[in-house]
Every structure is written in C-alpha cells, then in structure tokens.
Structure 1
Amino acid sequence: MTSIRQLADIPASVGQCEQLTGLQVAAGLVTWTNVLMVFALIVGTVSFVFLFGRAVLRLLAIFKVIPVAVYEAGGYALSAALLAAPSIFDISDSKTWFLVPGALLLAGLLLLTAKLHKLKENPPRYFLTLTILWGAMAYYHQEPILGFATVAAFMAFMGFSIIITPLAYFIGFEDEKTMSRAGGAGLLISALLVFERLFTPGIPQLDIFRTGMLWLGPFVFALSMLIRANRWMITEKQSWLGMQLMAFGAFFMLMSAGANLQIEAMLNVGTGFMILYVLEKPLEIKQRSLTTLAFTGLLLSILVGAFVYWTQQNPETIQQYLPLLAK
C-alpha cells in the first residue's frame, strides 16, 4: 500500500518524461488520423447532402413524373445500405466511413419526411427517434462515434440545444422546464458514472456510450446549475444565497469526484465551470456589496488553504476516508 507521503518522496528524476518509443509515436499517429477521419466524414457528408439536395431539385424539374416519394425512398435505401454494409462485407477496419454518413443521412431524411408529409414539428420526438436508432446501431456495430452521437441526441431530447449562427454559437435550453429536465438527466448520468466507479468493476454495456456520458452528462448538468445561479434567473420565491451554495456545491462535487475517482472529463468540466462561476459573480453583485464579497472570498480562501495544509500533513487520516487513494 502506497501512501500519499511516499508518493511525494519519489525522486523528481523518476517522474521525468522519457523519450517516446516507436510504438507510442505510431499510436499517436493513429489517434490523429482518426480525428482527421471524423472531420472528413462530417464535412464530406454535409457537403454531399448539400450538393445532392440541389441536384435533386434539378432532377425533379426533369423527372416531374417521378413522385417525390421515390427519391425519399431512395434516400432511405442508401442510408440502410451504408448502415448494413459493415455486417455484410468484411470492412470492420473502415466501418466508420459507412456508419457515420449513413446515420447522418438518416437524420436528414427524417426531417425531409416530416416536411414532405407536412408533419407537425416535434423536436423531442425527432431526437428521441435518433436516440433509439443511433443507439441501436452504435451498440450493434460497437461504433464509438455513434455512441457519442446517441448521448448527444438524448440530451437534445431532454432539452439541451446548440444553435449555430454566423459568428455566434448559442448553447443552453429553451426554457426553465427543459433546463430542469436536461440538467436532471445530466446529474443522473454523472451519478451513474460515479456509482459505477465506486461499486462495480465496470459496466461493459456502457463502454460504447462512455465518452459521450463522461463529457455531456457533467457538462449539461453544470451548465444548468450555472444558469440557475445567475442573479437574473432567480425568482422571488428562490433564495439567491441558496442557489449560490447549490451551484458552488455542484461544481465542487464534480471536481472532487473527478479528482478522487480519476474521472478526468468530470474533473475538467467541474473545474471549467467553477472558474466561469467565480468570474461571473462580481458582475451580478451591486458595487457596495463587493467589499463584503471580498472579505467572504478571503475567509473562504483561508479555510480552503487550511484544509489543504492539514490534508497534506495528515495523509494517513485522509486515506481511511478515501479508499481509492490507498490502493
């Protein structure tokens, strides 16, 4: 059993980085090419859909006798062929090139179907459909990119949204109801990850969705808490101080769970939102209250510093409450 003090006594030379081996360099190259592959797939698919859509309009002018439903059916057939290709042909090493375009094409075709058949807009139903279809395909083909997309579609179904406009991105929620629903979903995902790490050796069924869960779960939850703690979002029935304590506690728990359980994504999200929270608060407080805030911050920093000092001086005491660090 290695204690914190023993780890601290390890000579500095032991912790220095060594030269990368050929295998490590090759692994890094594979990772980088995978990133480029995802970029190429997304850009290529969007560009193809845009160009193909314009071509369809021209073809419709020529082949007016052919019902639009035929083109719609052809699109679904192409999507199905792309999604089924990895199961029919031996292309396991390049299945991503078929699955991602097929899944994106399917998402676009669902919107086209709704427009052609004049269906009432229902974003939650649309994203729920994508969650089910993409989730089934991700699990069947064990495709991590589709697994991440499944979690994103689920969070969109719960109310989280990203709107892209020229020179601007809008990230948030449509209203307080959707914010509560999406934030609650993010909290449940974060709690599931923590309980899995504490009480199980790992749930293999979640592996394909794990990257999306690790990032989007804590992110959506933290974003909802940051917005709720904003001065202009708090109603008369709510306590400003109570909301600040809840938000601060949420970010602190994400940081603590991420650090102690070695969940790096959760630690990064919690730290990032804690910084945003601290930077935002002075803008919400009236000028005459800044002195009180400064004294409060000074007192808080002293308490935190004292706790850190005591922890570093008494590692044996801390270990009995943090079994993971004692392993």
Structure 2
Amino acid sequence: MYPWLRQGLFLLPPETAHEVALNTLSAGRFIGLPRLLGGCGESKPVELMGLTFPNPVGLAAGLDKNGDHIDALGQLGFGFIEVGTVTPKPQPGNPKPRMFRLPEHEALINRLGFNNKGVDHLVERLKHARYDGIIGANIGKQKDTPVDQAAGDYLTCLDKVYPYCDYVTVNISSPNTANLRELQDTGHLRELLAELTARRDRLATEHDGHRPVLIKIAPDWEDPALNASLEVIGESGIDGVIATNTTLARTGVNGHRHANEVGGLSGAPLRSLADEVLKRARRVLGSDFPIIGLGGITRGEDAAAKQRAGADLVQLYTGFIYRGPALIAECIRAWHLDAPQQRA
C-alpha cells in the first residue's frame, strides 16, 4: 500500500506532504490505519542503558518534532521513538522552501532550523502519550542563543522533559543552526557535558530514577578532531552517542538540481560517511559504550551493517520516508539474523 500512498504524497511539496502524512496517520489511528500499514510488529527486545527496547529499530528525531503523533507512529512497529528537536521557546525555523527531495538518490536535503512549538508543548504531548515503547526527547538551543550561553537552553529543556520521557538526546550537530557545531569542539564540549551530567544526576535524585542522556554527533569531521571529541565524550560520564546527524557533504549527489541547496543531506548517500564515524566511535569509546547508529538506512542490510560496525540500536528517518513502514520489520529481521556475526 505504501508505494501508492508515497506516489500521491510526492506530488506535494515536502513539508506539506510531511504534515498530510502525519495528520492522516493520527486520524487513522482510531480505525487501525497505522497497524495496517505497519503489519505485525516484531518483539525482539534489546537491553541498553538500563532500558528495555521492544526491538532495536527506532524513529529518529525530526519526523515528529513536537510529539503530536507519538501514538500513531508507535503503532507502526518501532521499538522506540525520538521526538524533537525542541527548544525552550517556540521558533519558526528557517524561511521556506527548506526541504528538498532527491528521489533518484533516496535522499533529502533540509535546512529546517529547529522549527518547533517549544518544550512546554512537547511536555504536554509526552504527558498524554500512550505508546508503550521507549520515548526519547531531543533537545536543542534557541537560534539566537550565543554558543557560550547554549548550556542554559539545554538545561532548561532537560529539566522540563526529564520526568516524562525515557531518555534525552542533546543535539549539538545540526548543520542548520548557525555555529551550533562549535559545541562539538573539545573545549565547549567538555564544559557542556559536565553541566549536563551534573544536572542529570540531580534530576535522577529528585525524580527517583535515572534517565540516560545521549549526545548526537555530526558525520563531518577530520579524524583528529573526531578522536579528540570522542575521548571527551568517553570521559564525561554521558550515557551514549547517536552517530550521526546529516552531512554538509554532497558526495554521491553532485549534479542533482538540488545538490547546491544549503542544508544537511540525509538518506542513502550519507550511509558510508555515517558508518565510518560509527566505527571510529566504537573503537575510541570501547565495546560497552552505548551507540545508536543513524544515517543512510534504506534496506535491512544497512541496519545489519551498522550492527557490525558497532551500533547497539539503529534509527530511521529518510529511508522510512522512501520505503515506508515495511522498512521497520525488514531492519528488525536483518538485525537479528545478523546478530551472531562479530562486529567489524
């Protein structure tokens, strides 16, 4: 069914199609539409960070920025759903158009810029969510907050989402908020992680429960800088890493009419770059450090390859838009068929 639905959706501008698809899915939840599209979800639990994930395949942040569609998306078969990125206050993001399809490459370019309804809206949605899988909240800084004051934005969001989600992801790697990636530099990163882990520990005491806090990193690194930042992450006490966000590179899509659009590239062309960062993260951080693999998964084998590269779980975004809910079950099956093999 999904290929026919996609054909119609792709006649619409990308953001319009996004809204129509999510609103339809939520409206159809009451007649079982998401379950019909997703089929029977597979139960293949994974234990990580003190949490039990119903299966290893999750939805990445960005699709449901405001948590308005958690229950409908949950019925598609995901083992976990990450909502956001949200900021302390609502903000409109960058001017439109700001999302572009590259269907020949199973890719997207976006420069959305953390458009969202604000953390308070997300908290209300989290309070009312009935999805029984794992929910992560992805948090960011306000567009106009200077980098040297960014910690305040992250701490504000962390305080508010902490009681209502299962884990929190700190987004310091979007290419669409000016200077945000400076927070990956070792000096800024060390200070930010120290504040985050201290606040996490305080909140764990206040709320009688530990919520893991993860850092989402970029794929665009020189090796020495990546190694240095990963070492800071490993020493910080942070709970895990998501590798990776979108890329500024255009390898594999050069010549496409949208290739020169400003923004982050996601989808199949990102796969090899994201996998290399994932492998490096596993080598630097060691065998036990939690890592979620993201970037370029369009087939079940891509998820299995991330497992071999060192991922404990995976997330989907662009591949899900192109392939639909069938990709979820395909990735779950490939992941568990590949489980006995050793990591690369």
TM over 0.5: no
- Asked which structure has the greater CA Rg, the reply is 1
> What's the TM-score, normalizing by structure 1?
0.28
Q: Which has the higher helix share?
A: 1
Structure with higher RCO (Cα < 8 A, 6+ apart): 2
Q: Which has the higher strand share?
A: 2
> What's the TM-score, normalizing by structure 2?
0.27
